[in-house]
Structure 1
Amino acid sequence: ERLDDDGSLPMNLNLSVTADTTVVCKINRWRNEGIKSSGQITGKVDYYSSMTFPGILDRDVIVWLPPGYTTGEQKYPVLYMHDGQNVFDPATSYLGFDWRADETADSLIRTGKMEPILIVGIYNSEQRTADYSDTATGRAYQKFIIEKLKPFIDKTYRTKDGPQNTAVMGSSMGGLASFLLAWNHPSIFGKAGCLSPAFIAPFDSAITMVQFATEKKNIQLYLDNGTEGLEAKLQPGCDAMLHALRQKGYADGKDIRWYLDEGAEHNEPAWARRLWRPFLFLFPAK
């Protein structure tokens, strides 16, 4: 994995080419990742390939069913998670490390700490940055979830309705996308988990949305970040967002919860280790 000269993870780079250009990339620092995760998915999942929608690229969807779903009749809240290929399965995850959402949810549910939920993992695309930001493509991605995916999930599975039973979650740009969905559509998504969210330029319009809001929206937000490498670079955006939310009356512990993960980097293993925190805040046992 490439590192900046100071040993931190680099930001994404963009290159606009207007004429014949030769680009030479020199990598001065590099690190090898540890042993990849092994094992299989815990619980039952369903796969749906190549779902289509105007304005975005096709993408796969994976649905995780909580313990007891196949033998009962009750309805369940739903959590939609971005970067779905990284959520459950190390075989499809970035660098072979997944979020372990299946193991974490299964354990918390079976021990009575978390309300049983359905988890819908939405795979990303080659247009990930555009999908997850405040762009025309990003708004098309939001429409895909609202107009096609959510109705499909509600028709296919036993789901609870209402924003209090519908959440969205992601990390980095996926954290930004989760905020945008809840902020722009609070009547649908009443909860959002934003892990290591990208609230810095050029994506800081999310902060402006809060600052210029005329009323407090009825949503719950979980935010967190680490302290190392790229996480430190994202910290000012998290600070600004938290300040804006508090200025609008969002109360810590009730409307918002923030956690600083000391020593954590910007990667799947770090998000996997603290995933229990947003799970318990957004879906505590009833």
Structure 2
Amino acid sequence: MSPVLRILIALTMGLASPAFAQSDAPPRPAVPTPSSGTIVWWPDHAPAREVGVTDIWVWLPEGYALHPERRFPVVYMHDAENIFDPRLSNFNKEWQIDEAVTRMAARGDLREWIVVGLRSPANRYQTLFPQKLMEHLPAEIREAVRTIDVEGIKAGPALRGDRYAAMIARTLKPRVDAAFRTLPTASDTAVMGSSMGGLMSIYLMAEYPDVFGQAAGLSTHLPLAAPDQGEPARRAAQVADAFASYFAQTRLDPARNRIYIDHGTATLDAFYPPFFEAFDAMMAQRGWRGPAYESRAFFGAEHEENAWAQRIDIPLTFIDRADP
């Protein structure tokens, strides 16, 4: 199986899908073991289960127990089996988000953030796709989204990104704010993910800009479907135009919201540069510039968790900045 084909399968099934687990691998734990802080496990959030999310893990940094008088900002993250503990990931890789927050906070470069991690949903591609974007795409890209199929593995049922986004904004965040000492305003609430999770992070903030002040997408899958279909520059322009049309119908505002995106240049990310170039130009035309918008390229970086762990300090710093 080629590297690009393997990653296309990952887009539809999740980067740590059990379908690719080794049969002789030890059983995965139900709860991640963080390097510091504590994990609270919520396997019982009914609205999450309705959209295929079986587990939610809330990581509380060390300072949460040490400083009962303090409240903490919160970042919501997708594909949580890949962010805390490599034993939950098929490829023994993780973002090391708990290590990064602890390390950066200890040296005074970051506030301590609560991390709410959602396990990859069933039918991941359909669930994390920015659903309302479809009506702004040309027919050829809509068809590519509907029919994405890798070696007989179908993407799944109808798109349900709106249900997933609403679950986080309307049911999960209120539960988190009620259960923990959070800073509940949008300026202290962020969402972050990679690949399809990067798309969903942008979409979640666009749909709920009063709830989420910052969104970060690492290796954001701007091609939307298989990236090797069609002429790259033309398709990149079509995607950028669709986002411009969709954003115009939202209340997303660079005066209060911030967006970080990035990409590498190897494996699946090798297809991304023309899409980012078109997207960046579109965002500039719509008034998105620093400090509200940041787009970066990491030359040689692959589409995988080790690469995201190596640069996680950058998006964390971005979401922790003061309002633009």
TM-score, normalization: structure 1?
0.83
Q: CA, structure 1 residues 58+81, in 2 after alignment: closer, same or farther (shift >3 Å)?
A: closer
Per the alignment, residue 223 of structure 1 pairs with: 261
**2:305 partner amino acid:** E
Q: Tell me how large the CA RMSD over aligned residues is.
A: 2.6
- Alpha-carbon distance in 2 for matches of 1:13, 1:172: 10
Residue deviations 1:196-252, cap 9 Å, x none?
111114497675233451676131011110001210112222222211111101113
- Alpha-carbon distance in 1 for matches of 2:53, 2:302: 30
- Alpha-carbon distance in 2 for matches of 1:13, 1:277: 25
Shift of 1:52: 2.0
What is the 5 A alignment of 1:32-71?
40-43=33-36, 44-53=38-47, 55-71=50-66
Unaligned runs of 5+ in 2: 13-31, 132-158, 227-237
Which secondary structure state, in structure 1, belongs to the residue aligned with residue 87 of structure 2?
coil
Shift of 1:283: 1.0
Per the alignment, residue 35 of structure 1 pairs with: none
Q: Does 1:161 align with 2:184?
A: yes
- Alpha-carbon distance in 2 for matches of 1:11, 1:153: 33
Shift of 1:47: 1.1
**2:297 partner amino acid:** L
- Alpha-carbon distance in 1 for matches of 2:322, 2:106: 11
Which secondary structure state, in structure 2, belongs to the residue aligned with residue 95 of structure 1?
coil
- Alpha-carbon distance in 1 for matches of 2:187, 2:239: 26
Per the alignment, residue 126 of structure 2 pairs with: 130
Q: Is the 8 A contact 2:265 2:297 kept in 1?
A: yes
- Alpha-carbon distance in 2 for matches of 1:185, 1:114: 25
- Alpha-carbon distance in 1 for matches of 2:100, 2:241: 31
- Alpha-carbon distance in 1 for matches of 2:209, 2:182: 18
Q: Is the 8 A contact 1:173 1:198 kept in 2?
A: yes
Please point out which of 95, 109, 118 is paired with 1:99: 95
TM-score, normalization: structure 2?
0.74
Which secondary structure state, in structure 1, belongs to the residue aligned with residue 160 of structure 2?
helix
Q: Is the 8 A contact 2:266 2:301 kept in 1?
A: yes
Shift of 1:186: 0.6
Residue deviations 1:1-43, cap 9 Å, x none?
x325xx786523999xxxxxxxxxxxxxxxxxxxxxxx95222
- Alpha-carbon distance in 1 for matches of 2:275, 2:321: 28
**1:173 partner amino acid:** M
Unaligned runs of 5+ in 1: 16-38
Please point out which of 2, 7, 12 is paired with 2:9: 12
- Identify, as 1 or 2, the structure richer in helix: 2
